[in-house]
Structure 1
Amino acid sequence: METKCLKSFVVAGKTENFREAAELLYISQPSITVHIHQLEDYLQIQLFKRESGKVALTEEGKFFLTEAEEILNKIEQGKQNLKLFSEKKNVKLTIVISPMLVDSTIPQIIYQFIIENPSYEVTLMVVESERIGSLLQSGQAHIGIGLTPSDSEFIQDELIHTSPLEFVVPLDQYDDETGVNFDIHELFRTYPFFTNHISSIFPSINLLVKNHFHYVKPISIPQSYIVKRFIKDGLGISFLPKLIIRREMMEGRFNVIPFTEFELPSVKIYMQYKLNDKKTLLIREKLLSSYLV
């Protein structure tokens, strides 16, 4: 039993008009007649009664009309399921993240996704946030995670986390037993201030620091992981998002102290992807449901 016979029967059964059915299916009227005869021969049941040039469903035809529709729906659903299975079997995804987020929990979440979904082949790239949108539009990447939203109408942005900036200083400036208070002005006099790694998300940082601490000694470092290493080695001070210093805070690698000289902003983390890109749905759900700290 061919599906084309079932399709012709279903349309002809609903219209009870072979000419109209032929027009709806974009085939000839004789083809409809042939398909119905073939189906009746296969089933050994008369589906239509023909009287005075008109056709009408028999009682058996009315019963089988529902059955035929269900068969066609199952066939179509089976084709869709098979397509999804085939696509899921070998899905290639390229994920790009901002350099600052390399030290966050995001790479670990992506790793967990790969373990849970072995049929996905994931490539991870590290690029500046400003480049993520162009890589998505060109098809070189499928998911972007960065610090700035896209300005393209074809790219969807989702805010997945907001992380406060913290004032981070070397560990030897505080004694837990004596509880000596920090002198922020003294810290800026003593240590260089590492900057540039947050200038893209906080452009006015250098001016604000200079206005409040005119004696500051700034050192431009674009990579946050280098800033963290230098602070741990006692070589300077800076502002860093809480999201990327979680481990160091738990291990007591440096001090995070209150900063009240001016208001510190929060760092917003955006997930970006092309609109209607279904292949990214699973990884997007993973990122949205995972706990970022």
Structure 2
Amino acid sequence: MELRHLRYFEVLGKTLNFTKAAELLHMAQPPLSRQIRQLEEEIGTALIDRDARPMALTAAGTFFLEQCTQMLSRVREIQDAALRIGQGQRRWFGIGFVPSALYGFLPELIRRYRLSSLDVDVVLSEMTTVQQADALKAGRISVGFGRLPLDDAELVCEVIADEPLVAALPLKHRLLKGGKPTLEQLVSEPFILYPARPRPSYADHVLQLFRAHGLALSNVIEVNEMQTAIGLVAAGVGVTLVPDSVQRLKRDDVVYRGLKTRNVTSPVIMNYRRDDASPDLQRLKTLLAALYKQTASAD
């Protein structure tokens, strides 16, 4: 499947007329029909109901058209940004991040960076820490914010915070009656671990924390997203550990409780290429230092 197939289908899906779509695409109708047939064969299902009068999309076709439109819109944005950068009108700065970073300092850092860098296109990409390493070395991002240390000579990995972990418990859970819970108490509960993949990830960090205290989880439920884990906690399925800043994700049916066990934390790590001396990265680091100094003064 190529981009041209998506473009052909987008035009056909919006016009629902092979003749008109072919005119808009500056091609003959027979080749367009063959391209759409090839697309349907590759997907394995019909996208066009050719027996309908007037022609209509199948349910699969309606879904595929929506996805095509979103994808092609993003492609056009990328093309426009690349053109501006290539012409020297704009610079590009990519930031990779793990989802939990969005509940801490990162949104404010991004806001300040964008205000101070009006000539820079800031591109945000959600990715795991391991994915950030590959993206940095491939040049797809300029900096990453993760939670796992990376052993890579090409990268600098600076721990900028060591965030306490808190227990996320269902409303009226029995552990809420006894003050702060311990890791030992959490082991006896069904534990919701995330992300299930890709690994290694924050999930492995949590497992290591239990092992460091001589504990092993025996009843584990794996999910891919933190929001899913918290949703299952709300449903009473189990408990989990989340970074302290996630408490900003307020829910009436979930209670966040600090731990009695000491040194249960998760680092926030800034990753960037060792040879990157660009002014844009230096500006981000300066803003980050100022933000943490301001936060420390407020605390």
Band of TM-score, shorter chain: 0.5 to 0.7
Q: Please say if 1:236 is aligned against 2:238.
A: yes
- Counterpart residue number, 2:271: 272
1:141–1:202 Cα change, 3 Å: same
- Counterpart residue number, 2:291: 290
Look up the SS of the partner of 1:148 in the other structure. coil
Q: Which letter does structure 2 place at the counterpart of 1:283?
A: L
Q: Which letter does structure 1 place at the counterpart of 2:208?
A: S
1:205–1:142 Cα change, 3 Å: same
- Counterpart residue number, 1:96: 96
Once residues 227 and 187 of structure 1 are traced to their aligned partners in structure 2, the CA distance between those partners, rounded to angstroms, is 15
Once residues 185 and 264 of structure 2 are traced to their aligned partners in structure 1, the CA distance between those partners, rounded to angstroms, is 23
Once residues 89 and 289 of structure 2 are traced to their aligned partners in structure 1, the CA distance between those partners, rounded to angstroms, is 23
- Counterpart residue number, 2:57: none
CA contact (8 A) 1:100 1:225 kept: no
Q: TM-score, normalised by structure 2?
A: 0.55
- Counterpart residue number, 2:178: 181
Q: Give the drift of 1:252.
A: 5.8
Superposition map of 1:124-143 within 5 A: 124-143=124-143
Q: Give the drift of 1:279.
A: 2.5
CA contact (8 A) 1:171 1:253 kept: yes
CA contact (8 A) 1:97 1:145 kept: yes
Look up the SS of the partner of 1:245 in the other structure. helix
Stretch of structure 1 that moved more, 163-172 or 226-235: 226-235
Q: Which letter does structure 2 place at the counterpart of 1:151?
A: D
1:155–1:211 Cα change, 3 Å: closer
Q: Which letter does structure 1 place at the counterpart of 2:129?
A: S
Task: Note the residue ranges of structure 2 that are not aligned, 5 or more in a row.
Answer: 1-86, 196-201
- Which structure has the greater CA radius of gyration? 1
CA contact (8 A) 1:174 1:182 kept: no
Once residues 257 and 230 of structure 1 are traced to their aligned partners in structure 2, the CA distance between those partners, rounded to angstroms, is 17
Q: Give the drift of 1:107.
A: 3.0
Once residues 183 and 272 of structure 1 are traced to their aligned partners in structure 2, the CA distance between those partners, rounded to angstroms, is 33
1:118–1:188 Cα change, 3 Å: same
Once residues 285 and 225 of structure 1 are traced to their aligned partners in structure 2, the CA distance between those partners, rounded to angstroms, is 32
Superposition map of 1:128-207 within 5 A: 128-173=128-173, 180-181=177-178, 192-197=190-195, 198-204=202-208
CA contact (8 A) 1:172 1:234 kept: no
Residue by residue over 1:172-198, the C-alpha shift from the partner in whole angstroms, topping out at 9 and shown as x without a partner, is: 3379xxx94369688776x63101433
1:279–1:289 Cα change, 3 Å: same
Residue by residue over 1:54-113, the C-alpha shift from the partner in whole angstroms, topping out at 9 and shown as x without a partner, is: xxxxxxxxxxxxxxxxxxxxxxxxxxxxxxxxx996221011112332443413421342
1:94–1:167 Cα change, 3 Å: same
Task: Note the residue ranges of structure 1 that are not aligned, 5 or more in a row.
Answer: 1-86
Look up the SS of the partner of 2:203 in the other structure. coil
CA contact (8 A) 2:187 2:216 kept: no
- Counterpart residue number, 1:221: 223
1:282–1:88 Cα change, 3 Å: farther
Once residues 206 and 148 of structure 2 are traced to their aligned partners in structure 1, the CA distance between those partners, rounded to angstroms, is 11
Look up the SS of the partner of 1:203 in the other structure. helix
Give the superposed CA RMSD: 3.5
Q: Which letter does structure 2 place at the counterpart of 1:287?
A: L
1:256–1:147 Cα change, 3 Å: same
Look up the SS of the partner of 1:140 in the other structure. coil
Q: Give the drift of 1:266.
A: 1.1
Superposition map of 1:21-36 within 5 A: none
Q: TM-score, normalised by structure 1?
A: 0.56
Q: Which letter does structure 1 place at the counterpart of 2:290?
A: S
Q: Please say if 1:120 is aligned against 2:120.
A: yes
Look up the SS of the partner of 2:206 in the other structure. coil
